[in-house]
Structure 1
Amino acid sequence: MRWSWLFLSLLLGFTGCAHSGVPTLPASHGHLMSEMEAFQLKKGLPSSGMWDVAIGAEVAPKPPLKLEPEQAPLVFEEAVRTLGGTPGEDAALSAFRDIVAACVAGLAEACRLESEAFTGPKVISPAAFTYPEALLRPGAFAFMVFHCRIGADGQVRDCKIVEGARLPGVEQNLAACQLARYRPATISGHPVSVDYTFHVRFVPQGITLNRHQELEWARLRVRQNPESRSAWLNLARELAKNNPGDPLYPQAVARAYFLAPRSGWAASEAAWQLVQSGQYAPALSAVRPFVRRSNNPYVLETAAAARFGLKQCTAALAEQQKAVELLPAEWPAPERERFQRKLQDYQSACAPPKAVSAATDPR
């Protein structure tokens, strides 16, 4: 029997399916958000750029720097000066985090530089993964996830098993990760180390899983690996696409957001669900870090709904207006109409009350 293996890498969050086109309705908010990101990438349109705010994948993130709007310009200028010199790796990473913080604080110039400054690692010599003989013979499917670091020298190191620890051959494939070589990631041309997650999926050649099988595999992954952010993100997206009415969907989104708070998809979808239950402040807190850097109308729609619920009319109108403008002409007409109606609802609700003139006393 012949076998094929599919190697997927996940850097700075996950990005959706590059082959996707215009979605078919009805579809969940979470799936439409994924499809929009994929559509923008396919068309070469501005997308959300780094779908994960900071450098890192499976490991626990450092608390992000929080800036007040008035602090952002000075912090940004200092970061630009640092990157314009010859900083070491730590200094370059620190400067980049300052740029991210300035973007989150509302500095548009910082958002533009953030999307331009970072270049991900490029493979030179890929990992030579091999399907374990013990699994190949009985025709078993297998999925392994390894979290590593790609150093400023392009070498892969510090690998650990995230999923598949009990599978035969996992140590052999873990070692294969560390033999791969990359051009390192850079920030404004300065090499830096980044977290990198290898996903290795072994599937019998010629076999395609149907929707039910993909969902069952996604459920199995979280049962076997309850602390894997990759597993929960995968399950949440599978449910968003194939069964958003499943009672597990809100739990999967919440768990994905808890484990991967810097994932734009998880944060935005968690925020959308919070909006639906009237929890506007936590919704805005979840989605706010992604709004400034996002060109995804569904992220902006979520922020607008949270701000409207908090009676921040000016900001809500601005976010919804931008969301309407960013919807491509190819997008399903019912969705474009829905976005426009919501904008009109906000405009009506936020309009100042008409002045009432004093009545003239006829006497």
Structure 2
Amino acid sequence: MESFQVKKGLPSTGMWDVAIGAEVSPKPPRKLEPEQAPLVFEEAVRTLRGTPGEDAILSAFQDIAAACVAGLAEACRLESEAFSGPAVISPAALTYPEPLLRQGAFAFMVFHCRIGADGQVRDCKVVEGARLPGVEENLAACQLARYRPATISGHPVSVDYTFHVRFVPEGRTLTRHQEQEWARLRVRQNPESRSAWLNLARELAKNDPGDPLYPQAVARAYFLAPRSGWAASETAWQLVQSGQYAPALSAVRPFLRRSHNPYVLETAAAAQFGLKQCTAALAEQQKAVELLPAEWPAPERERFQRKLQDYQSACAAPPATP
């Protein structure tokens, strides 16, 4: 995800924030058993070393992702290195709608598009902001943008691409309460928008995790965006708290091998411990402890350490009987 602010070409009283994100494929990776992973990975690498068509490229990348999920470390390394997102050549000439600018109004637009292997933006649709003035002009501006295409191991590929455009009056900021109210308004107005639900869930996680809406927001965000590692991890943690260890592990497993986030690892460890998979739980919690940032608060670091000690005690082999 790339985030940036621009003022160029705008009146001195307005600005926008733009966040853009690319996804290589809407399909989840196939499921592999650990013993299948090396052969599947080897075949995928062989494909990418040749001159494959786009379908073969995407299929090979999906196989690499599947091998990563199955626990093959070299597949995880290649997956993280092989994909390069689109790079802007000629950005979208977005404009703050004049009626909103005059009113000093905040506004949000979300456009879902594809960037082809030729770098052209196409197949755009409005996800949020359909009734706002200026939406068609800004949609057209997105489609006129040009990019260097995304690549997988150097091969150009098409990707889904989402533009999040937030219009903010110059010199104005929202309070924490206003940010939350805006987040709630977005999901009411756009109940099928994964961007809106992810935003609401993150706002509540950061500022009000005790809100009764938070579990629903997380569940809805995960349903609409199952490839969001954050939504998957939060959903898995909630499942762990309710004793649903198998679905929790299923939710977080696709992100486990590629994650360096202690919370993701902690969640997986808790699910594995609940399933009495002691060896796996100890390994994941140990890795989580090793990855704890030095700048984290001492109480939080100590909590991770205590949980590791709890697992070590509970998983200790019983003394041998004479």
Specify if TM > 0.5: yes
Query: Does structure 1 retain, via aligned residues, the 8 Å contact 2:87–2:148?
Result: yes
1:96-140 CA-to-partner distances (Å, cap 9, x unmatched) read: 000000101111110010000000111111101111122222221
Structure 1 pair 38–221 and aligned structure 2 pair: CA distance change class (3 A): closer
Equivalent in 202, 208, 213 of residue 178 of structure 2: 213
Taking the aligned partners of 1:138 and 1:50, their CA distance within structure 2 comes to 14
CA deviation after TM superposition for structure 1 residue 49, in Å: 34
Structure 1 residues 210 and 54: alpha-carbon distance in aligned structure 2, compared to 1, 3 A threshold: closer
Could you report, residue by residue, the CA deviation over 1:79-109 in whole angstroms, capped at 9, with x for unpaired residues?
Answer: 0001111111111111100000010111111
Alpha carbons of structure 1 residues 174 and 214: separation in structure 2 relative to 1, 3 Å: same
Among the aligned pairs, what percent are the same residue? Answer: 92
Aligned-partner Cα distance in 2 for 1:114–1:48: 44
Indicate if the aligned counterparts of 1:148 and 1:158 stay in contact, CA closer than 8 A. Answer: yes
Alpha-carbon shift at residue 53 of structure 1 (Å): 23
Name structure 2 gaps, 5 residues minimum: none
Task: Tell whether the 8 Å contact from 2:20 to 2:164 is kept in structure 1 after alignment.
Answer: no
Per-residue deviation at 1:310?
Answer: 0.5
Cα 1:234–1:281, aligned 2, differ >3 Å: closer, same or farther? Answer: same
The count of corresponding residues between Structure 1 and Structure 2 is 318
> CA offset at residue 58 of structure 1?
9.0
Distance in 2, matches of 1:282 and 1:127, equals: 41
Which piece of structure 1 moves more, 41-50 or 101-110?
41-50
Q: Is the 8 A contact 1:48 1:293 kept in 2?
A: no
239 and 45 in structure 1: CA distance in 2 versus 1, 3 angstrom threshold: farther
Alignment partner for residue 343 of structure 1, among 296, 300, 308?
308
Structure number with higher relative contact order (C-alpha < 8 Å, ≥ 6 residues apart): 1
Q: 1:205 to 1:50 in 2, by over 3 A?
A: closer
TM-score, normalised to structure 1, is: 0.81
Aligned residue number for residue 285 of structure 2 = 320
Q: How many angstroms does 1:64 deviate by? A: 2.9
Offset, 1:38:
13
After superposition, give the CA deviation of every residue in 1:173-214 in whole Å (9 maximum; x if it has no partner).
Answer: 100000001111100000001011001110110001110010
2:79 counterpart residue number = 114
Change (3 A) 1:312 1:278: same
| Equivalent in the alignment of 1:240 | 205
The answer on whether the counterparts of 2:246 and 2:271 sit within 8 Å (CA) in structure 1 is: yes
Give the secondary-structure state (helix, strand or coil) at the position aligned to 1:61. Answer: coil
Q: Structure 2-normalised TM-score?
A: 0.91
**SS of 2:31 mapped into structure 1:** coil
8 Å contact from structure 1 (residues 52, 263) kept in 2: no
User: For residue 188 of structure 1, what is the aligned residue in structure 2?
Assistant: 153
Q: SS of the counterpart of 2:113?
A: strand
The alpha-carbon deviation at position 51 of structure 1 amounts to 25
Instruction: Write out per-residue CA displacement over residues 141-182 of structure 1, whole angstroms, 9 at most, x where no aligned residue.
Output: 110000000111111000000000111111111000000011
Aligned partners of 1:301 and 1:319 also within 8 Å: yes
C-alpha separation between the residues in 2 aligned to 1:283 and 1:44? 48
Unaligned runs of 5+ residues in structure 1 are 1-35, 354-363
- Classify 1:114/1:55 alpha carbon distance in 2 versus 1 (closer, same or farther; 3 Å): farther
Contact 1:154/1:183 (CA < 8 Å) preserved in 2? yes
Q: How far apart are residue 61 of structure 1 and its match? A: 3.2
Aligned partners of 1:53 and 1:264 also within 8 Å: no
